[in-house]
Structure 1
Amino acid sequence: MSQHDMEIANQAGASFRADLNDALKALASTNSGPSQPTTPFPYQLWADATTGVLKMRSADNTIWISLARMDPYFGLTKAGMIMFHTKSVAPSGFLKCNGAAISRTTFGELFSEIGTTFGAGDGSTTFNVPDLRAEFIRGWDDSRGVDSGRAFGSGQGFSVESHNHLYGGTAIQFAPGANGSLVTGNTYSTSFYGGSETRPRNVALLACIKI
């Protein structure tokens, strides 16, 4: 890591050479360091070693603009985004969506994105990532009216849409329950059929969240 104010002062030969070499090192390493360069310039690049983010100075030289995370994916995926992975372990830069409580400071960028939507952890130092194990994902209704009343990020239990069956050519309403008893008239029972849940065909992949 190396930084320089990019000003080469009038000085003797050896000192001049050393100062120039330091400036070149700073350029070669993109002004890498845990704190910003002491003398910033418009459009200057800074590899922030503390946050792992490549930044550029704004045109008016007032703020640093985050360009990308310095990870294998160069930050092309924003913190909080969900992806499915074809391995049983999360790739670098991601965590499993397993409901775990994680540090609010260590994973500060993720915490700033999702907050306590999926759990407040211990209430002060940790928060929870979403638990997507064995779950299907449903798009948030967002006032459309198809899945009304849902809070963003909320889970939803098993349900079968209300329906009736034909019996002897007459439509009759079955009461809730596994035995299919009639609401009115005589009580009949149907045999049990099926598994422990209702589901479509599917493939099991690992849900991961970008940190």
Structure 2
Amino acid sequence: MDYPKSIPSVGLVNGRFVDENPVAGTPGSLIPAIWGNSVTQEILSVVAGAGMAPSEADNGQLLKAIQAIIGVTSPMRSVVTRLAASKLLAPEELGLVLIDASPGAATITLPPANVAMGVRDVIVRRVDNSGNRLVIQAAGTDRIRFHTHLSATGYPFLVLMGSGDWWHLRSDSAGIWWPVGRLDGSALGRQVFETTLQMNPGGYGALNGNVLSRSEWPWLWDHAQSSGALTTEAARGGKEGGWTSADGALNFRIPEARGEFLRVLDESRGVDAARMPGSSQLHTLQKHNHYLPTGTGSAISPASSIPDGMWDVAHDVNASPTNTTSATTYPNPAFDAGVDAGIGSIGTFSAETRPRNIAYPGRIKLI
């Protein structure tokens, strides 16, 4: 495309247009037909390249066509949108969307992922740490395709949890938003330890047995149902580390693990058999005997000098031996199977059996 330098025409100076000058007696430029047609064809080629039909009534087609063509090669626009309340996003606001939910709970609705909008990207990022619920909602029947191992069609919304939490989504012009990236892609339901009491962003909650709404956390409820660790609220005793169906209709309960030691599930190894995920075991001391061989005398002191295998007289150094019973044979199948082995079901024995440990806050991935 260029000025019509090679086309003879009245009023053109080196192909450039000039105004009429009545004083000097020089005419204004007359646009030659061949140049006017070529300009029009240049514009129509851009419109056609975007897959659009030319329309005399639409004076914005060139801009729309350029946007569509750019969108194919780079669906992310250099746009920053700042929000502090619920809103339906317009296509021209897509880019980096920064959301402050500190004034209150908010829902940000994405524009329809249809042919008119085409393939577009958006990064939704939370900037506050208020704890107010922040929902990113798909329009109408559109879906966001995350956690498709639980639901092939995805879900109608997601939640941003904590300052700095973000998701990068791409529309496919067919009603679907596809996740391209996110702050934390750890597996749903995963338990982790933290070195801070603060809730790190990215979709985490406390591992505290809370009751949640099924409608607000549909993907997590789907996860619970497929976990193999779901039970009823009435049967929760001894299974506090699993999920429950709570009221059986509207909510569900997440696992509780505060103050507990965790153990790897046996999964057919036979060391800790007959356990289901999330089940608990009582404190247990394996039943065994301590004894003094017959004829060793009626008193031994100090207690620290008593040989292994002898009756523990630490609590009564003047006790006399009464039998020569051997200690319990190891391993003890009843103990290994988690069955009450004598004194294991009374008290906690925490002063005797608790190993040295460090306590960290437990978290669970909620989305």
TM interval, short-chain normalised: 0.5 to 0.7
Contact kept? 1:86, 1:206, Cα under 8 Å: yes
Task: Choose 1 or 2 for highest CA Rg.
Answer: 2
Aligned counterparts of 1:68 and 1:167: Cα–Cα separation in 2: 71
Aligned to 1:188: none
Unpaired segments of 5 or more residues in structure 2?
1-49, 78-90, 95-109, 125-135, 138-156, 159-166, 231-241, 294-309, 311-323, 329-340
Which stretch shifts more, 134-143 or 109-118? 109-118
Of the candidates 71, 75, 79, which is equivalent to residue 27 of structure 1? 75
Aligned to 1:89: 198
Unpaired segments of 5 or more residues in structure 1?
1-5, 179-193
Aligned to 1:37: 114
Aligned counterparts of 1:36 and 1:57: Cα–Cα separation in 2: 5
1:14 counterpart = 2:91:
no
Aligned counterparts of 2:217 and 2:279: Cα–Cα separation in 1: 22
TM-score (normalizing by structure 2): 0.41
Aligned to 2:360: 205
Identical aligned residues as a percent: 24
Instruction: State the 1:148 CA deviation.
Output: 1.0
Aligned counterparts of 1:197 and 1:122: Cα–Cα separation in 2: 39
Aligned counterparts of 1:121 and 1:111: Cα–Cα separation in 2: 11
Aligned counterparts of 1:197 and 1:20: Cα–Cα separation in 2: 76
Instruction: State the 1:195 CA deviation.
Output: 4.9
Distance 1:9-1:102 versus aligned 2 partners, 3 A rule: same
Instruction: State the 1:54 CA deviation.
Output: 5.1
Instruction: State the 1:8 CA deviation.
Output: 3.2
| Structure with more relative contact order (C-alpha pairs < 8 Å, separation 6 or more) | 1
Task: Give aligned pairs, total.
Answer: 184
Contact kept? 2:214, 2:252, Cα under 8 Å: yes
Aligned to 2:280: 155
* One-letter code aligned to 1:210: K
Distance 1:136-1:68 versus aligned 2 partners, 3 A rule: farther
Instruction: State the 1:95 CA deviation.
Output: 0.6
Contact kept? 1:46, 1:55, Cα under 8 Å: yes
RMSD: 3.9
Where in structure 2 are the equivalents of 1:107-146 lying within 5 Å?
A: 107-115=217-225, 116=230, 117-146=242-271
